[in-house]
Amino acid sequence: MKRRTVHRVCTLCEATCGLAIEVEGRRVLAIRGDADDPFSRGHMCAKAPALADLHEDPDRLRRPVKRTDTGFVEISWEEAFELAAEGLLAVRTQGGADAIALYRGNPSIHDLGSTLYYIVLQRALGTRNRFSAGSLDTWPRYVQVSSMFGGMLHIPVPDLDRTSHLLVIGANPIVSNGSLMTAPDLRGRLKALRERGGKLVVIDPRRTETADLADAHHFIRPGADAALLLAMIHTLFDEGRVDLGRCGDFASGLDTVGKCVDRYTPERVAPRCGIDEETIRRLARELAGADAAVVYGRMGACCQPFGTLACWAIDLLNALTGNLDRPGGAMFARAAAPLDFAFAQGGEGIRFGRHQSRVSGYDEIFGELPMAALAEEIETDGDGRVRALITYCGNPVVSAPDSDRLDAALDSLDFMVSIDFYVNETTRHAKVILPPPGPLENDTYDLSLYNLAIRNVAKWSRAAFEVEPGGLSVWEIVLELAGRIMGLGELETGQVDDLVLRQLVTLALAGSPLADQLDRVVEALGKQPGPARLLDLLLRLGPYGDGFGRAPNGLTLARVAEHEHGLDLGPLEPALPGKLATASGRIELAPPRILGDLPRLDAWLEAEPVADFILIGRRDPRSMNSWLHNSERLLRGRDRCTVHIHPDDARRLGLRDGSAARLSTEAGELIAPVELSDRLMPGVVSLPHGWGHDLPGVGLGVASGRPGVNTNRLLAAREVDVPSGASVLNGVPVTVKAVGTVS
Ligand SMILES: Nc1nc2c(c(=O)[nH]1)N[C@H]1C(S)=C(S)[C@@H](COP(=O)(O)OP(=O)(O)OC[C@H]3O[C@@H](n4cnc5c(=O)[nH]c(N)nc54)[C@H](O)[C@@H]3O)O[C@H]1N2
Ligand SMILES: Nc1nc2c(c(=O)[nH]1)N[C@H]1C(S)=C(S)[C@@H](COP(=O)(O)OP(=O)(O)OC[C@H]3O[C@@H](n4cnc5c(=O)[nH]c(N)nc54)[C@H](O)[C@@H]3O)O[C@H]1N2
Ligand code: SF4
Ligand SMILES: [Mo]
């Protein structure tokens, strides 16, 4: 059999590393970093080889299955679609559209087909009960950037390769490889920053692997980020260092910001932050004084009690030090295939809370409801009660707070369908599971992530293998299911796809000079159904595109595909005010929704801290959320699902390395092995998420052998960051006790 080398991106995390995958027949022989990829330059991490394990994993579903009294059994696609449609339609007939809930998980953004066709499924169902991992991840940031800049993908990213001062707060990019910042080889890029004389500062309750590379690291009490950052902004005003630079011409609300931060003096917040007032002032001065500086925060600053306020303060610091939208500061990518039109709400900026969840009245955010609401929407009687669920690339039973409760709620549903290739803690509740192809069997393009890239890039990734005989692409699965739900059962999927194409073209051309040329554009995109021609549309209409003839040398998918290692479109360039999509057309420095949360922060600052310990999360270089634990090669080695605790705290509690600790909160309790670590701030403990694979019926042979514990059993669903509704995953009060020694 002939050996081939396929060049494509790794789809496991947000870094988009280029891989050179050597294959023979249907086997993977080797996976290496692609040295010719202009963006990742040969870098890959320890997780990439697991793509081969996923490809070969005997536990990965290759055919649809249905749940029977004796476990899951394989069935034909026809039977699977019929069962799925019948079950869903029965629930809808009885309970209406909202009786079917949808949950979309993280990997859906890493696959072009999944990203684009999810929208079709969503439309076919027309339910308001839409949920996603966004409320466990990005919502505070999305709400903040939408409020300030007008769109959820209007996210400024650090101009890493040109900055001279990077302040990282609540992120650990050396392990996570970056998030809401697409940048392969962060280790190399951060080292380069130091080598050119730049400074790296890390603020984190754990001395992280990123802190190991830094000039300075400061411990912070979990949850205190917003207070700290507002006191830094206070210092800028106090010392006359506010300078919006070019952005001053199109920013509103500076006076309001000045009034708001007046009360966050370094003296007031220092005791709650665990950072002294002089350090707070110095952190602010360094930012203002650097040639080009940028503040970057992620999960620790985002999925915590004051996530939206912290995200706001991060971009305020960038703006008020003149670093927003300038080289070396916080800049906006210019994606070759922009998605802005898909999220536009009629040029009015983004509105939140257009409807509320039925039981607790959580605001809708980007058309979705927070995960805080899912279990209660299933449990609580009445009109609009959720009785069926579709999960799509996700594992909420492990990923979302109040896991035991959510697990029980899923068990009580009348019907559930999952689109996923594993029987995991969540999908084991499904009546039918529809498996997408393996991770190397899709052509793909990082549609979302290139909006967040630190260089402008484009890369078309070809499938390493055809879809296995008897398998279906994800777009075929979705269209078949959606078609049956919409009563289009008699149409071929290709015909349904033609309808999808026409709709997308209509949406994308609205208001453009091509608006009256719908037929010509549709024809130019060809007859081959599937995501490729939809991407072609976006690329051709994009800022580098050929505009269907208006810029003959511009990009098309075919032209992007000629660059099999990827296409570099240059460094980030200033994009404001043109990119702003707020109703005013200006940067809104003081959005009311965000300011409305300040009294809650004040109450927290005034309250006496009561908890023994504060729990935070931790990510591991060889793990990816809940779903790479079935790879032997990644699971090997020492146990990683351990509670890290400072040696002084451990001594006080009678805990040693390897002994067992009982962690308890109002929501639940669990027992986990202890690892002493002086990397932790005293009073803080950390436990990773994504574990707990020992539930009955889970079909993960390798993972079940070393299941770990599910930290989300300790977290309460109702604890949210109020402006966004996102779950509080870091900064949770917890009681820790010794329970003896684990053998
Ligand atoms: N306590 C705590 N909880 C957390 C976090 C935390 O830091 N602390 N982090 C949160 C974050 S940031 C996230 S993103 C969420 C993740 O939460 P989820 O997205 O719910 O969970 P994942 O573990 O990413 O689940 C991925 C699922 O997708 C499936 N899958 C993989 N590839 C594909 C594909 O191509 N198609 C389909 N159909 N399925 C596929 C896998 O089999 C797996 O079942 O967890 C959140 N939960
Ligand atoms: N290897 C690996 N890589 C991954 C993932 C994975 O599971 N494994 N998951 C991917 C996903 S879905 C995401 S969203 C990204 C996340 O990317 P990151 O946010 O970079 O990753 P985390 O490890 O969650 O980093 C959060 C940091 O915040 C700190 N922290 C916790 N609470 C607080 C707080 O209150 N204040 C401050 N200042 N810091 C705090 C933690 O100690 C930790 O260092 O990673 C992605 N990459
Ligand atoms: S850093 Fe992310 S994209 Fe790069 S190889 Fe690792 S998992 Fe894949
Ligand atoms: Mo995430």
Query: Would you state the pLDDT for residue 612?
Result: 87
Q: Report how far ligand 3's centroid is from the alpha carbon of 253 (Å).
A: 40
Name the residue at shortest CA distance from atom 2 of ligand 3. Answer: 13
Q: How many CB atoms lie within 10 A of CB 551?
A: 12
For residue 624 and ligand 3, the question of a CB distance below 6 A is answered with no
Ligand nearest to the CA of 449: 3
Separation of alpha carbons 33 and 40, rounded Å: 8
* Radius of gyration for the chain, computed over Cα atoms and rounded to the nearest angstrom: 25
Ligand 1 closest atom vs CA 712: 1
CA dihedral 391, 530, 13, 367 (to 10 degrees): -50
- Ligand 1 pocket residues where CB is under 6 Å: 105-107, 111, 114, 133, 136-137, 299, 392-396, 399, 419-422, 424, 436, 617, 625-627, 689-690, 711-712, 715, 729
Q: Which two tokens stand for residue 508?
A: 């994308």
Residue 743: pLDDT band (50, 70, 90) is: very low
Residue-wise DSSP of 465-524: SPPPTT---HHHHHHHHHHHHTT-TTS-HHHHHHHHHHHHHHHHHTTSTTTT-HHHHHHH
| Burial label, 342 (beta-carbon count in 10 A; 0-12, 13-18, 19+) | middle
With 70 as the cut, is the pLDDT of residue 345 above it?
Answer: no
- Domains, the chain, ordered by start: 1-56 (3.30.200.210), 159-332 (3.40.228.10), 610-741 (2.40.40.20)
**What is the tens place of the pLDDT at every residue in 589-614?**
999 999 999 999 999 999 988 888 99
For residue 54 and ligand 3, the question of a CB distance below 6 A is answered with no
**Cβ atoms of residues 531 and 116 within 8 Å:** yes
Instruction: Kindly report the average pLDDT of the chain as a whole number.
Output: 96
Q: What is the mean pLDDT of residues 26-38?
A: 98
Ligand 3 closest atom vs CA 177: 1
**What is the tens place of the pLDDT at every residue in 438-452?**
999 999 999 999 999
**Cβ atoms of residues 425 and 407 within 8 Å:** yes
For residue 399 and ligand 2, the question of a CB distance below 6 A is answered with no
With 90 as the cut, is the pLDDT of residue 349 above it?
Answer: no
For residue 177 and ligand 3, the question of a CB distance below 6 A is answered with yes
Residue 1: pLDDT band (50, 70, 90) is: confident
For residue 124 and ligand 3, the question of a CB distance below 6 A is answered with no
Chain centroid to CA 42: 24
Residue 348: pLDDT band (50, 70, 90) is: low
Query: Would you state the pLDDT for residue 341?
Result: 66
Ligand 1 closest atom vs CA 179: 12
With 90 as the cut, is the pLDDT of residue 620 above it?
Answer: yes
Q: What is the mean pLDDT of residues 698-721?
A: 97
Which helix or strand (DSSP H or E) is residue 103 part of? Answer: strand 100-104
**What is the tens place of the pLDDT at every residue in 109-152?**
999 999 999 999 999 999 999 999 999 999 999 999 999 999 99
For residue 598 and ligand 2, the question of a CB distance below 6 A is answered with no
With 60 as the cut, is the pLDDT of residue 741 above it?
Answer: no
With 60 as the cut, is the pLDDT of residue 369 above it?
Answer: yes
Q: Report how far ligand 3's centroid is from the alpha carbon of 21 (Å).
A: 14
Q: Report how far ligand 1's centroid is from the alpha carbon of 179 (Å).
A: 14
The type of residue at 697 is G
**What is the tens place of the pLDDT at every residue in 463-521?**
999 999 999 999 999 999 999 999 987 889 999 999 999 999 999 998 888 999 999 99
For residue 48 and ligand 3, the question of a CB distance below 6 A is answered with yes
**What is the tens place of the pLDDT at every residue in 232-255?**
999 999 999 999 999 999 999 999
| Burial label, 153 (beta-carbon count in 10 A; 0-12, 13-18, 19+) | buried
Ligand nearest to the CA of 477: 1
Query: Would you state the pLDDT for residue 489?
Result: 78
The percent of residues above 70 in pLDDT, for the chain, comes to 98
**Cβ atoms of residues 259 and 305 within 8 Å:** no
